[in-house]
């Protein structure tokens, strides 16, 4: 694939899709496109029955890099929709931080395996920005509507144990075992009939790709409104300087 995204066969029917953009694995449309391309390649290959999505480094994904180009100006969300449109089940191995859009990437998977040291946060409001990456749809599906509201309004950061308690991650293991456990779950899925699993997945997901498409269109519009505000500038500055933000509502 590339230096940023690689495919590795873990067994006859399970493959690893690993992305790497050190030090924090920030994403842009190009990186998400490469991950979606990897999913498509494995789907077209015919032998893969389950994917483990993982990343290299300390953190799973720290979201979009707001010091770069405006994410709403490119086809980021068109590529995000592709992650939800494939036929193969995906297990995400989440080490370190999965925050902001990085949480959205983790939530694009069917399952999440995490560690006590993993950190999950829908921290958009603490940056002065609207949430994105389809979190409108995926976060309530994982934790329920009321809990999703709380996480989105407060931008609270959850450790692995807390995330596991509310269903934000599905399995919790020691840090050195996170990828091994994700592979074990994928292998378990791969022993089932692939035709049955994919049929069940289509039924259970329903119109999820279309819902993600509609949600990301709305999210991008709301984000575009907020990118020019002083609150957004303050939120990014505060995050960079590791201090509490001082929002003014302007």
Task: Give the pLDDT confidence of 51-96 residue by residue, as tens digits.
Answer: 999 999 999 999 998 766 565 556 999 999 999 999 999 999 999 9
- Residue 130 in contact with residue 216, Cβ under 8 Å? no
Tell me the pLDDT band of 129, cut-offs 50, 70 and 90.
very high
Specify the pLDDT at position 3.
83
DSSP 244: -
Residues contacting 232, CB < 8 A, separation 6+: 127, 128, 129, 226
To 5 degrees, how large is the angle CA 142–CA 145–CA 147? 75
Q: CA angle 250-65-168, nearest 5°?
A: 90
Q: Is residue 87 within 8 Å of residue 198, measured between CB atoms?
A: yes
Share of the chain above pLDDT 70, in %: 96
Q: What is the pLDDT of residues 178-228, one digit of tens each?
A: 999 999 999 999 999 999 999 999 999 999 999 999 999 999 999 999 999
* pLDDT, tens only, 136-192: 999 999 999 999 999 999 999 999 999 999 999 999 999 999 999 999 999 999 999
User: Comparing C-alpha atoms, which of 88, 106, 87 is closest to residue 32?
Assistant: 106
pTM comes to 0.95
- Do residues 104 and 31 touch, judged by C-beta distance below 8 A? no
């Amino acid at each position: 694939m590339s230096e940023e995204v690689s495919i590795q066969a873990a067994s006859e029917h399970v493959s690893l899709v690993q992305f790497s953009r050190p030090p924090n694995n920030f994403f842009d449309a190009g990186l998400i496109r490469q991950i979606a391309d990897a999913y498509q390649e494995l789907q077209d290959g015919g032998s893969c029955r389950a994917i483990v999505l993982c990343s290299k480094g300390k953190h799973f994904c720290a979201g979009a890099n707001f010091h770069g180009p405006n994410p709403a100006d490119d086809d980021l969300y068109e590529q995000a929709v592709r992650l939800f449109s494939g036929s193969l089940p995906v297990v995400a191995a989440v080490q370190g931080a999965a925050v902001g859009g990085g949480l959205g990437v983790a939530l694009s998977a069917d399952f999440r395996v995490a560690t006590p040291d993993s950190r999950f946060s829908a921290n958009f409001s603490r940056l002065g920005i609207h949430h994105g990456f389809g979190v409108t749809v995926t976060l309530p599906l994982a934790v329920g509507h009321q809990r999703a509201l709380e996480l989105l309004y407060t931008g609270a950061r959850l450790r692995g144990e807390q995330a596991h308690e509310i269903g934000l991650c599905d399995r919790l293991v020691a840090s050195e075992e996170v990828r091994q456990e994700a592979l074990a779950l994928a292998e378990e899925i791969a022993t089932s009939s692939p035709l049955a699993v994919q049929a069940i997945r289509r039924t259970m997901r329903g119109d999820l790709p279309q819902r993600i498409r509609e949600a990301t269109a709305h999210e991008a519009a709301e984000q575009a409104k907020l990118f020019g505000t002083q609150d957004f500038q303050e939120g990014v500055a505060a995050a960079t300087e590791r201090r509490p933000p001082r929002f003014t509502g302007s």
